[in-house]
Homo-oligomer: A and B are copies of this chain.
């Protein structure tokens, strides 16, 4: 007898499912269990790279779940880039490929997630005439007033990144004062609070540290670092803020894993 006295209505065909691996008593959702099981078969070579997975309907029947659940399980692997769905043909195991990888800025976020250990040192905050790259990308008339702010963000009292930002000087816009606010920085990094921006574009570049930058970050001039450019647009779809972060690669490791990493 089953010790479970759950008055739930349907538990008819659970036995077949349990025999094949999906355990409904397991708190892990069925689709995740099935995904892990498939991952194991790929990892072990049972489903070698390039081979076709059983059809979703077949998986559903084999493991005693509905087609939607099986589909969801395959969807997990597809999102991981482990398999590739081809309509009308099947789902195929991918090989390890470099282009499958994505580099995220989680490391940056992880550090900045501790506002207690962050200090912001304003290096420069001034109004100046628009010129050069900033004037161009912000679509400002040449010579128009523009705000420039340079800050060094310290993490645990050690320089972490140098942030340079430039915005047009429009007294009617809340951007002006907010650019001087340190809070806007962390809220820019995360997706919290309220935003003056509708969208943004980021560009990652390698740079060689100049004398001045190196000093502010307490690094050796001439060595390489990441430059993370950002251009944000307001809700009127006009460019509103342009700038960049300079970060040493040790502070912001960009790693990516591809293929089967079971553990």
**Which A residues contact B (CB, under 8 angstroms)?**
43, 45, 48-50, 81, 84, 94-106, 108-109, 187-195, 197-208, 222-226, 228, 230, 232-233, 235, 249, 253-261
Chain B residues in 8 Å Cβ range of A259: 197-200, 233
Chain B residues in 8 Å Cβ range of A103: 102-104, 202, 204, 254
Q: How far is the CA of A177 from the CA of B81 in the complex (A)?
A: 28
Q: Mind listing 24 A-B residue pairs with CB under 8 Å? A: A48-B194, A50-B194, A81-B191, A94-B191, A95-B195, A96-B198, A96-B199, A96-B200, A96-B232, A97-B189, A97-B190, A97-B192, A98-B109, A98-B200, A99-B189, A99-B191, A102-B103, A103-B104, A198-B260, A199-B258, A199-B259, A204-B254, A208-B223, A233-B259
A202 smallest CB distance to B (angstroms)? 5
Q: How far is the CA of A212 from the CA of B214 in the complex (A)?
A: 25
Chain B residues in 8 Å Cβ range of A205: 206, 224, 249, 254
Contacts A202-B255, A207-B206, A253-B203 known; A230 to B197 CB distance under 8 Å?
no
